[in-house]
Each structure stands twice: as C-alpha cells, then as structure tokens.
A = this chain, B = another copy of it.
Amino acid sequence: MCQSCEAALQPVEPSGFTKVSEDSHRLSEAINSNPYGPNPADFLSNVLSFELIESTLREGEQFANAFFTTETKIQIAKALDDFGVEYIELTSPVASEQSRRDCEAICKLGLKAKILTHIRCHMDDAKVAVETGVDGVDVVIGTSLFLREFSHGKDMTYIAKSAVEVIEFVKLKGVEIRFSSEDSFRSDLVDLLNIYKTVDKIGVNRVGIADTVGCANPRQVYELVRTLKSVVSCDIECHFHNDTGCAIANAYTALEAGAKLIDVSVLGIGERNGITPLGGLMARMIAADRAHVLLKYKLHKLRDLENLVAEAVQVNIPFNNPITGFCAFTHKAGIHAKAILANPSTYEILSPSDFGLTRYIHFANRLTGWNAIKSRVDQLNLHLTDEQCKEVTDKIKKLGDVRQLNIDDVDSIIKDFHQNVSIPSLDPDAVVLA
C-alpha cells in the first residue's frame, strides 16, 4: 500500500464512520474538487495544454466508406476550423492528382487551423508536399521489424538517412515538420530512441508515436511516452488505432506522460475501425478539466460536425457514441432517476447542455421508480400525494411487465388514476355530465 493510502487509513477506526450530518463541508469540498482531474504526480502532464491534429481528411479518408469530393473536403475543413482544432491533416498530395489539388485548395481557404499533409519518408513525396502551401508536413515510416520486412524492406541506417534528408529539406522550405515511426510499440526500443534522438537534434517540430495495429494498452503507452520525453526536447504527438477499444484511454494516458498532440478524426473514422474519436476525446478531457475544454472548442457544434461526416461516409452515429449517442444522457433505473432529479451530478459528470443537448429521464418502463413518476406528474401539472404516486407507479410497473411502454401509455395511466382519485372532491353533477 502506498504511504498516502496508509496515512488515510490511520485516523479512523474501521467501524467509526463519519455521520452524513457532519458531511456537509465534505460535500461542498467534493462538489468543488475533481477526482477526475490531472494527477498531481504527473509533472510533465499536458492534460491542461493538449492540442488536436484532426485527421478526418487523411486517416478518415482511409476509412472503408470514405470518398470525399472537393466540396465535401472543404465543408469538413471549415467545420473543423470553426470547431477550433489546432491542426487539420490532409491526405498525401502524391496519393492521386485530385488529392494534390484538394490539398492546395484547402491551404488557400485561409483557415485559423494549421494545414498539414501526411507523406512517406521520401524526397519525392516531400518535394510535392512543400509546394502545396501546407503549414506542415507529417512524415512517417515503419520502424517495426514487421514493417521493415514486409512493407518497405529498409534497414534503420537507411531510415535515419532518408529521415535526415527529408527533414532538412522541409525545414529549409520554412515548413513545420513532424517525424513519426509507424507500429511504434512493436519497434525495437533502442532503434526507436536512437532515431527520435537523431531527428530531434536536427530540429523537428514534433516526433510521433503510432499504435498502428491498435493493441497498445494505457500503462504501456505511459511508459513509452515518458521514456521518449526524457530523450527528446521537441513536442510529442500520438496516434492510436482503436482495434482493442483503448484509443481514447491511450490518448489521455499519453497526455499524462507528457505527449502534447493527439491525432483524432470525427467519429474516429480511419483504417479498420479507426482511431481516437474527436467527440470521445472531448468527453474524456472535459471530465479532466471542463473550463479549459469549453474555452478552446465549440462543443455545441460537435453534433453537427459528426452528422456532416457521418452523412459523407454513409454511416449512422453509433447508438453508444460518447456524448451524441441517442442514449448518452438517458437515465432509466428508478434509483438513478431519483438521484438525477435531486442533483444531476450524482450520475452525470458531463453536462448535456455543454453540447447543446438535453437530459432525458426514461420513466416509461418496469424499472421505473416513484420519484421519476412523481416528476412526470408534476410536469403534467397534476397533483398527487407521495403515497398516490407510489400507487400509480405500481400500476405502471405492472403494465411495463406485460409490454414495452411509451410516454403516452404512462401519461394515460397517470391521468386515469388522477381522475379517479380526484372524483370525491368534484361536484357530483359535473361528473355525471362528463
């Protein structure tokens, strides 16, 4: 056990729990502190100063369904810029003739975001890239034995030589340069650190780590980034695929370890099942520091941005998408609904209104509770006692056992019940007339 935990255990006897009545100052402390904030032990953490490299128009174009026309690319680039991303990364201008023309067109838009393009570590590519008008070039080469054997077939000496040549050429043109390895977590650590140290000395703006196969885990990411941080003085960028569902967590952990920039795409679209999604990472970062994220990005535009890209690549927003999934702010079980009605922070750290969305209490089901039903009774502007609310809740739960309910079902039951319990106080004549 660590010292702080041991210390924490000392002052109180196992059975001596503090009373709730004495908890009021602790509650206000708890409300004002954030257990999900940056870890104070991470001296190099960039959780409060991260930047985004938005790659929907590069990694995203490698998504199976993606075919972006020039108009669509421009529309997406403008929307990303408006959202507030720091960098927009585009497909290599050597991928196709149209890719080059689109790259030039987006550079001419005069966006606030810096425009990058992503090329192989090769002078042929670099020469075309710097002529497009981009602010920066992202160079990548496979460094794992797998990629060296089965992709480009080059050794580390060759990789270092071409990296130096390309980097010096791009720097000479006054363009930002990033050097990244590919499949970093299956690369030899010595090879990796050597090449990063070499390119850092020549003066790259950033070095990149890429989990190309999407299998790295958070603590492994933390170790590699922290080690790299002690070897280079430039910024560190990270790129995480999502094959094993850890792309958001890995991105957050990389920032904790001192990485500065995270590659994202809208809905995470990319090769296979994609990379760190922009929206999911926003959710993660808001939990750590809401004020900072709200200041930097127009979160209320997230839903439109996701809809724009989803339509362009013909997919539906996943039902379980962070923030914008249809049920991300829906509370169902009676015990949850009760607490949410008393204070939304009980079961919600993210606030739907930050994204222009609304909370929904799902009360039309057999798991419902009388607090949720009482809230609905109030919404309907009816008046029932707590006991009556419990009674009508029983009726609703009974019907909920028989079939799926909708709001109209529940409202009908409540109104019938209300009419019945209200009869005694009504004028008997009026009832006869009704």
Question: Measuring CB to CB, which residues of chain A are less than 8 angstroms from any residue of chain B?
Answer: 1-2, 5, 8-9, 11-12, 14-21, 23, 26-27, 30, 35-36, 39, 61-65, 67, 91, 95-99, 120, 142, 144-151, 153-157, 159-160, 183, 185-186, 188-191, 193-195, 197-198, 212-220, 222-223, 227, 230-231, 242-250, 252-253, 256, 267-269, 271-274, 277, 280-281, 283-284, 286-288, 315-316, 318-322, 325-333, 335-336, 338-339, 342-343, 345-350, 360, 362, 365-367, 397-398, 400-404
User: How far is B397's CA from A343's CA once the two chains are assembled, in angstroms?
Assistant: 56
Residue on B with the closest CB to A2? B227
Do residues B212 and A347 form an inter-chain contact, with CB atoms below 8 A? yes
Closest Cβ of chain B to A255, distance in Å, is 10
Do residues B156 and A17 form an inter-chain contact, with CB atoms below 8 A? yes
Most interface-central of A153, A252, A320, A365 (chain B CB within 10 A): A320
Could you say which residues of chain B place their CB within 8 Å of the CB of A342? Answer: 150-151
Closest Cβ of chain B to A220, distance in Å, is 7
Do residues B186 and A35 form an inter-chain contact, with CB atoms below 8 A? yes
Residue on B with the closest CB to A336? B271
Q: Quick one: given A189-B8, A243-B322, A249-B218, are A23 and B145 in contact (CB under 8 Å)?
A: yes
Do residues B366 and A151 form an inter-chain contact, with CB atoms below 8 A? no
Could you say which residues of chain B place their CB within 8 Å of the CB of A18? Answer: 155-156, 191
Do residues B287 and A148 form an inter-chain contact, with CB atoms below 8 A? no
Do residues A67 and B404 form an inter-chain contact, with CB atoms below 8 A? yes
Do residues A216 and B36 form an inter-chain contact, with CB atoms below 8 A? yes
Most interface-central of A154, A191, A243 (chain B CB within 10 A): A243
Q: Which 3 A-B pairs have the closest CB atoms?
A: A17-B156, A249-B249, A318-B318
User: How far is B248's CA from A15's CA once the two chains are assembled, in angstroms?
Assistant: 35
Do residues B8 and A245 form an inter-chain contact, with CB atoms below 8 A? no
Most interface-central of A5, A20, A244, A345 (chain B CB within 10 A): A244
User: How far is B281's CA from A267's CA once the two chains are assembled, in angstroms?
Assistant: 20
Kindly identify which residue among B63, B146, B193 contacts A327, using a CB–CB cutoff of 8 Å: B63
Do residues A338 and B253 form an inter-chain contact, with CB atoms below 8 A? no
Q: Quick one: given A151-B346, A256-B219, A271-B333, are A245 and B277 in contact (CB under 8 Å)?
A: yes
Provide a sorted-by-A list of 11 A–B residue pairs whose CB atoms are within 8 angstroms. A5-B193, A20-B149, A23-B145, A64-B360, A96-B367, A96-B398, A146-B343, A151-B342, A242-B322, A243-B287, A246-B248
Could you say which residues of chain B place their CB within 8 Å of the CB of A17? Answer: 155-157, 159-160, 191, 194-195
Do residues B194 and A227 form an inter-chain contact, with CB atoms below 8 A? no
Kindly identify which residue among B36, B185, B217, B222 contacts A220, using a CB–CB cutoff of 8 Å: B36
User: How far is B212's CA from A271's CA once the two chains are assembled, in angstroms?
Assistant: 32
User: How far is B340's CA from A142's CA once the two chains are assembled, in angstroms?
Assistant: 13
User: How far is B346's CA from A213's CA once the two chains are assembled, in angstroms?
Assistant: 8
Could you say which residues of chain B place their CB within 8 Å of the CB of A151? Answer: 335, 338-339, 342, 346
Could you say which residues of chain B place their CB within 8 Å of the CB of A404? Answer: 67
Most interface-central of A198, A316, A332 (chain B CB within 10 A): A332
Do residues B26 and A145 form an inter-chain contact, with CB atoms below 8 A? yes
